[in-house]
Amino acid sequence: MGKRFKFSPLRARILLMIGPVISAIFFGFFSCGFIYYALELGISFWLDMIRENFMFILFFIWINMSLVESIYRMIKNNLLLNSNIQELRDCYPELEEDWQNLNDADYLDKDLQVLVYGDHLICYRTFDIAYLPECSKIDAFMKMYRLGSRHKVRRVHFSAWYLDGSESELRTDELRKFIGMNQKAHKDALFDYLRENFDYIELETFD
């Protein structure tokens, strides 16, 4: 028996939150700075500056819109993660006791960071899930990312389409773990498993 992997919804929550939190802190700092100096220097000073330099107000609006977007992403990611965790617990009572039961998944690829447990396809780093009996199609997108000046990495990103026409994003993460890995071969192996066990699902790859 191979080494058992440690599955953690808390780790997934941290992974999903760290980007929006850093963005919220960054844009929040600038937004508060603008407000502080507006009060310090006086509203008339800033009104004169705005009249003379309209790009200044556009920059201020962009800062605040980015702050709102970061807060929205934090809330959205949290709600989605809570919903996915609850769905898995409702469908598989054994996961309520111990998430490490995911090690007994019907299909598990630790390099690609995906597994099939019962009727769910799970990207376990983010706990994005797809309920396979209601899926009509699963797309795989091979995205290229540059890490520094020397490394390029191709990351697989999945989308699941349901019978009612809705779409569910399945995000893999931690790009550096994918360096030097033949992701296409791992993706093909996953699709072969899905094709054999869920033959009603259309599978398509976009390079």
Q: Compute how many other C-beta atoms are within 10 angstroms of the C-beta atom of residue 120.
A: 18
Provide mean pLDDT across the span 99-103.
90
User: pLDDT value at position 56?
Assistant: 65
Rounded to whole angstroms, the Cα distance separating 139 from 158 reads 6
User: pLDDT value at position 191?
Assistant: 95
Q: Is residue 49 pLDDT above 90, yes or no?
A: no
User: pLDDT value at position 171?
Assistant: 81
**Environment class of residue 55 by beta-carbon count within 10 Å: exposed (0-12), middle (13-18) or buried (19+)?**
exposed
- HSE (side-chain half, CA atoms, 13 Å) at 188: 4
User: pLDDT value at position 1?
Assistant: 41
The residue ranking higher by pLDDT, 161 or 18, is 161
Using one digit for the tens of pLDDT, what is the confidence trace for 108-132? 998 888 999 999 999 988 889 999 9
User: pLDDT value at position 7?
Assistant: 72
Question: What are the angstrom distances between the C-alpha of 179 and each of 114, 155, 175, 182?
Answer: 17, 9, 7, 9
Residue type for position 83? S
Name residue, tokens 């030097």. Answer: 180
Provide mean pLDDT across the span 34-51.
65
Rounded to whole angstroms, the Cα distance separating 186 from 97 reads 30
Query: Could you tell me what percent of the chain has a pLDDT over 90?
Result: 30
User: pLDDT value at position 93?
Assistant: 92
User: pLDDT value at position 70?
Assistant: 75
Between CA 195 and CA 206, with CA 201 as vertex, the angle to 5 degrees is 85
